[in-house]
C-alpha cells in the first residue's frame, strides 16, 4: 500500500509525442472544443452575476463557491467510482448532465426569466456533476496513453484547456458585447459543445485502452486513501501547495472581473481581453511543460508556487490597464507551470489502483478551498479595493510555499552507512530528505592483491 510506482520507460522526445495515440488525439481535439464552450460559460456566468447583483464582489464569490463547493463533498466519491467502474461510461454520463445544465441556464436567460438564485442553483448542480467528472477525466488520460506518454499527455491536456481559455473568453466577450450584454448565447454555445466530447468518447477504440484493474467495493476506502497519502510525504507537500494556490491564488475569474469594472471602469469586451491575456500566458506555460518527460522535483513545485505568488502581488499594484494586461501573461504562465507540474507529480507518484482516489483527494485540495477562498477574496476586494484581492492572495501563496521550502531544505541531511563486504568496501551516502533520492558510492576491488585495488565510483 505504500509502494511508489516504478519510473516509466524512456520516452520519445517531442512536444506532441502523446498525440501518436489515436484515442488521445481524438479526445484532445474534442476536449478543446468543449473547453472553449466551458470558458464561454464561465465568462457569461460571471458577467450575468454582476448584472443581476449590481456589481457585487460577494455575489460573484458566492457563485464561485457554490460551483466549486461540491468538490469537498463529492470528489472523493467520484474518485471511488472512477477506480470501481468504466471511466469512459462515467464521462459519457457526466458530460451529458453538464450539457443539459448549460442549456437550462441559456434558456432561462433567453426567456428573460433568470434570477440570481437560478444562477446559484445551477452553479451548484454543475459543481456536483463536475466533481464526479474530474477524477474520472484525469485518470482516464493514463488509460488512453499508458505510463510512457503520461507526463506529456497531462501537459497537452492542459495545453488544450488553456488554448480554450485563450479563445473562449475573447469569443464570449465579443458575443456578449455584440448581443447588447445578453449572456444567453454563451450558455447555448457551451451546451452544444458538450456533444463533441460525447461523440469522441463513443468513437474511441475501446480495445486500445489500458484500463486498470477495477477496485472492488469495500469499507474503509477513504481511510485507505488518507493512509496512503500520509505515508508518502511528497504527496502531502503537493496537496498542501495545491490547496494554498487553488484557494488563494486561482481566483482570477473574480479579481480580473473586478479590476476591469472597478479599477479601469471597462465593459465586457475589455474583461474578455484581460482574460485572454491571462490565457496567453497559461497556454505558454502549458506548452513549456510539454517538454517535461519525468516526474518533477519537489523543490520545483515550491519555486513555481513562490514565483506565481510574487507575480500575482505585482499585478495587483498595476494601475494602468495595459500594464496590468501585460503582466497577466507571465502570471498565467507561472500558474500553469505550477498546475501541470503538480498534476504530473501526483499522477506519476501513485499506483494505478489508487490513482482515481488520490487524484480525487488532490482535486479536493486544489479546488475544495475555493468555497472559502472565493468569498474571502471577493470580500477583501469589496472592502479594500479590487487590487487587494490579487495582493492578498499572492502573499498567502508566497508565505506558505516559502515555509514549505524552508522545511524541505532543513529536513535534508546526509546519513552515512558503512558496510564491509569482503573483499570490497561499500560506502552508501543516502540523503534522508523529502526527495527520497539515494546515491550509492561503491568502491569495488578489481585486483586480488591487497593494496592494489583501484576504486571505481558508481552513482545510482
Amino acid 368: pLDDT: 63
Q: Which of 31-40, 134-143, 269-278, 434-443 has the lowest mean pLDDT?
A: 434-443
The string of DSSP letters for 249-262 reads: I--HHHHHHHIIII
Q: What is the mean pLDDT of residues 435-456?
A: 39
Which H or E element spans position 202? Answer: helix 184-202
Instruction: Please state the φ and ψ torsions of residue 431, each to the nearest 5 degrees.
Output: -70, 115
Q: What is the mean pLDDT of residues 69-84?
A: 78
d(CA 124, CA 73): 12
Q: Which residue has the cell 477562498?
A: 373
Query: Is the predicted pLDDT of residue 343 greater than 60, yes or no?
Result: yes
d(CA 137, CA 200): 13
Which H or E element spans position 429? Answer: strand 424-431
Average pLDDT in the chain: 78
**Better pLDDT: 416 or 241:** 241
Q: How confident is the model at residue 399 (pLDDT cuts 50, 70, 90)?
A: very high
**Better pLDDT: 404 or 58:** 404
Q: What is the mean pLDDT of residues 37-65?
A: 83
Tens digits of per-residue pLDDT, 199-249? 999 998 888 887 777 776 766 667 777 888 888 888 888 888 988 888 888
**Better pLDDT: 214 or 176:** 176
Which H or E element spans position 439? Answer: strand 439-443
Amino acid 398: pLDDT: 92
Q: What is the mean pLDDT of residues 257-273?
A: 77
Query: Is the predicted pLDDT of residue 438 greater than 70, yes or no?
Result: no
Tens digits of per-residue pLDDT, 274-308? 877 887 887 788 777 777 667 788 888 999 999 99
Query: Is the predicted pLDDT of residue 437 greater than 50, yes or no?
Result: no
Taking phi over 0 as left and psi of -120 to 50 as alpha, with beta for the rest, 80 belongs to alpha
Amino acid 208: pLDDT: 84
Q: How confident is the model at residue 268 (pLDDT cuts 50, 70, 90)?
A: low
442 three-state secondary structure? strand
CB 233 within 8 A of CB 241: no
Radius of gyration of the chain (CA): 24
Tens digits of per-residue pLDDT, 53-72? 876 777 887 887 788 777 77
**Better pLDDT: 376 or 367:** 376
Going from the N-terminus, what domains does the chain have, and what CATH number goes with each? 17-205+220-410 (1.20.1250.20), 412-460 (no CATH)
Amino acid at each position: 500500500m505504500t509502494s511508489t510506482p516504478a519510473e516509466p520507460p524512456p520516452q520519445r522526445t517531442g512536444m506532441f509525442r502523446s498525440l501518436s495515440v489515436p484515442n488521445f488525439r481524438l479526445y484532445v481535439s474534442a476536449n478543446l472544443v468543449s473547453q472553449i464552450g466551458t470558458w464561454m460559460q464561465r465568462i457569461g456566468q460571471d458577467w450575468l452575476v454582476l448584472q443581476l447583483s449590481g456589481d457585487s464582489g460577494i455575489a460573484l464569490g458566492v457563485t464561485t463557491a457554490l460551483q466549486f463547493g461540491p468538490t469537498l463533498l463529492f470528489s472523493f466519491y467520484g474518485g471511488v467510482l472512477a477506480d470501481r467502474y468504466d471511466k469512459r461510461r462515467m464521462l459519457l454520463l457526466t458530460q451529458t448532465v453538464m450539457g443539459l445544465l448549460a442549456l437550462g441556464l441559456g434558456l432561462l436567460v433567453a426567456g428573460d426569466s433568470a434570477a440570481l438564485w437560478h444562477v446559484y442553483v445551477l452553479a451548484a448542480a454543475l459543481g456536483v456533476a463536475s466533481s464526479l467528472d474530474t477524477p474520472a477525466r484525469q485518470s482516464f488520460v493514463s488509460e488512453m496513453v499508458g505510463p510512457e506518454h503520461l507526463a506529456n499527455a497531462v501537459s497537452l491536456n492542459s495545453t488544450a484547456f488553456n488554448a480554450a481559455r485563450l479563445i473562449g473568453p475573447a469569443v464570449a466577450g465579443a458575443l456578449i458585447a455584440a448581443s447588447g450584454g445578453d449572456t444567453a448565447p454563451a450558455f447555448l454555445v457551451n451546451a452544444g459543445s458538450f456533444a463533441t466530447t460525447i461523440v469522441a468518447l463513443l468513437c474511441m477504440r475501446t480495445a486500445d485502452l489500458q484500463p486498470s484493474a477495477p477496485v472492488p467495493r469495500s469499507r474503509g476506502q477513504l481511510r485507505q486513501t488518507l493512509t496512503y497519502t500520509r505515508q508518502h510525504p511528497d504527496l502531502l507537500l503537493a496537496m498542501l501547495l495545491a490547496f494554498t494556490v487553488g484557494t488563494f491564488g486561482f481566483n482570477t475569474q473574480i479579481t480580473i472581473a473586478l479590476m476591469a469594472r472597478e479599477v479601469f471602469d471597462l465593459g465586457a469586451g475589455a474583461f474578455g481581453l484581460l482574460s485572454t491575456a491571462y490565457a496567453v500566458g497559461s497556454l505558454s506555460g502549458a506548452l513549456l511543460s510539454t517538454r517535461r518527460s519525468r516526474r518533477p522535483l519537489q523543490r520545483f513545485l515550491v519555486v513555481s508556487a513562490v514565483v506565481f505568488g510574487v507575480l500575482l502581488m505585482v499585478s495587483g499594484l498595476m494601475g494602468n490597464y495595459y500594464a496590468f494586461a501585460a503582466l497577466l501573461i507571465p502570471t498565467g504562465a507561472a500558474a500553469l507551470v505550477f498546475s501541470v507540474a503538480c498534476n504530473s507529480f501526483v499522477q506519476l507518484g501513485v499506483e494505478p489502483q489508487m490513482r482515481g482516489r488520490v487524484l480525487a483527494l488532490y482535486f479536493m485540495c486544489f479546488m475544495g478551498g475555493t468555497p472559502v477562498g472565493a468569498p474571502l477574496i471577493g470580500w477583501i476586494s469589496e472592502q479594500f479595493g479590487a487590487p487587494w484581492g490579487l495582493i492578498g492572495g499572492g502573499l498567502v501563496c508566497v508565505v506558505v510555499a516559502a515555509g514549505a521550502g524552508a522545511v524541505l531544505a532543513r529536513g535534508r541531511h546526509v546519513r552515512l552507512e558503512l558496510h564491509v563486504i569482503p573483499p570490497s568496501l561499500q560506502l552508501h551516502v543516502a540523503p534522508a530528505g523529502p526527495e527520497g533520492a539515494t546515491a550509492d558510492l561503491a568502491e569495488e576491488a578489481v585486483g586480488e592483491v591487497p593494496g592494489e585495488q583501484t576504486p571505481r565510483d558508481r552513482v545510482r
